[in-house]
């Protein structure tokens, strides 16, 4: 009787599967962004939104940075668990899709934007595309009835 390969391991002998690589890339970007928001929120806000931050904006920026760290640790790639049915995959996919859409909205409708706004929109849109592509390369395993 043939058995289906274990979907929780890497796809080949050459290293991590595409989803693990994509999650690792996203995690690195969000660590950098999170650190910048925690320690220098005014700079990130100026570069991203093109406005000066003071008072409450600084507090919210730091809270967002801390939230990114939560996302980072929830999505930390683990080759034994990096399949498209994991919460890490879903969390990173939803985050990237929504933040790309919201930043684009701010630029188009809110008429705000610093030098990094559109590159950030593009980067999050690309990450969303890479995650969707990874999902297609690694579809969820069919459920087995017992």
Tokens of residue 8, six digits: 């929780």
Residue 87's closest CA among 74, 77, 102, 78? 74
Measured torsion, CA atoms of residues 86, 88, 90, 92, in degrees rounded to the nearest 10: -160
Contact 49, 113 (CB under 8 A): yes
- Tens of pLDDT along the chain (146 residues) come to 444 444 444 444 556 677 888 888 889 999 999 999 999 999 999 999 999 988 899 999 999 999 998 998 888 877 555 566 678 888 899 999 999 999 999 999 999 999 999 999 999 999 999 999 887 776 555 555 65
């Amino acid at each position: 009787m043939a058995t289906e390969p274990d979907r929780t391991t890497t796809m080949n002998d050459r290293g991590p599967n595409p989803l693990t690589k994509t999650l690792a890339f996203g995690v690195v970007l969000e660590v950098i962004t999170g650190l910048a928001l925690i320690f220098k929120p005014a700079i990130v806000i100026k570069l991203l939104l093109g406005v000066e931050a003071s008072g409450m904006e600084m507090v919210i920026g730091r809270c967002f940075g801390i939230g990114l760290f939560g996302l980072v640790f929830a999505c930390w790639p683990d080759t034994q668990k990096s399949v498209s049915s994991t919460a890490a995959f879903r969390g990173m996919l939803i985050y990237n899709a929504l933040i790309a859409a919201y930043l684009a909205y701010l630029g188009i409708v809110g008429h705000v934007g610093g030098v990094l706004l559109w590159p950030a929109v593009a980067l999050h849109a690309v990450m969303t595309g890479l995650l969707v592509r990874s999902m297609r390369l690694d579809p969820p395993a069919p459920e087995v009835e017992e």
